[in-house]
Amino acid sequence: MENCSSLLIGGKQFSSRLMVGTGKYKSNKDMIESLSKSETEIITVAVRRINNDKHGENLLEKINWQKYWMLPNTAGCINADEAVRIAILGRELAKLSGQEENNFVKLEVISDKKYLLPDPIETLKAAEVLVKKGFIVLPYINADPILAKRLEEAGCSTVMPLGSPIGSGQGLLNSSNISIIIENANVPVIIDAGIGVPSEASQAMELGADGVLINSAIALSDNPPLMAQAINYGVKAGRQAFLAGRIEKQDFALASSPEKNISI
């Protein structure tokens, strides 16, 4: 299946609309194979964990950074000041990987330890600072249309509303708000968190989202490479369906065969 046009973020083009995380895999072998099967071009790495991999290996050394674009994230930060500091470290890590022009950062500010919901006030504060420092900011947020527009106006290159809480696999619980965000946005909308299966990834794309970011659904599945491939297909199918345009819903049946001009 064709990927149906490229995704443009911060002036850089990507053919894949699926971003993939690098955490939670049972082994680095599973991770590397899953990245390949997903056909992703953007992979997100937690700056605070990149040298503290649970398998005792450095991600900078395990991943082919000529093949994938690094999206450092500020996971673990609880306020704006902390997020800005970690983002700056992430930019240096990208340079160490050979990506000298990489100013991307996935902005996460989460002070809520129970439900892991992003802090809207601290996220906006951090975004404003990072944009001024020349970052391509991809902020992770609740599905809040007003906040999404404020972040866009602050200069963020995307907005990344959650479908449901991180790692929950509950799918899209905020479809109505996500639709409003998509309708109002002049930057790409990437659905991040909560997607559990390919059909939910496809649903996000059918709504008109520009892409999805998925980690847990792949890494914690019984067969991560197979799930990565399946989600890749779901993203592509959803994008094609959105571009094709679905039929209108009817309150009654509509025969597929015309009743007029019947010859027999």
Specify if 165 maps to a domain. yes
Beta carbons of 164 and 173 less than 8 angstroms apart = yes
Specify if 223 maps to a domain. yes
Specify if 251 maps to a domain. no
pLDDT at 114: 85
- Distance between CA atoms of 122 and 140, rounded to whole angstroms? 12
Count of other CB atoms within 10 angstroms of residue 143: 23
Token pair of 129 as six digits: 């600072």
pLDDT at 48: 80
Provide the domain limits for residue 20. 7-244
pLDDT in tens, 109-132: 998 888 889 999 999 999 999 999
pLDDT at 3: 45
Count of the separate structural domains present in the chain: 1
Specify if 264 maps to a domain. no
Beta carbons of 43 and 97 less than 8 angstroms apart = no
Q: Which residues of the chain have pLDDT under 50?
A: 1-3
pLDDT in tens, 44-64: 999 987 765 555 567 778 899
pLDDT at 1: 38
**Which is the catalytic residue, given 37, 106, 125, 236?**
106
Is 249 a known active-site residue? Answer: no
3-state secondary structure of 159: strand
Specify if 250 maps to a domain. no
Helix residue ranges, H only, 114-174 = 120-132, 145-153
Specify if 263 maps to a domain. no
Specify if 1 maps to a domain. no
Q: Residue 85 is part of a domain; what is its CATH number? A: 3.20.20.70
Specify if 130 maps to a domain. yes
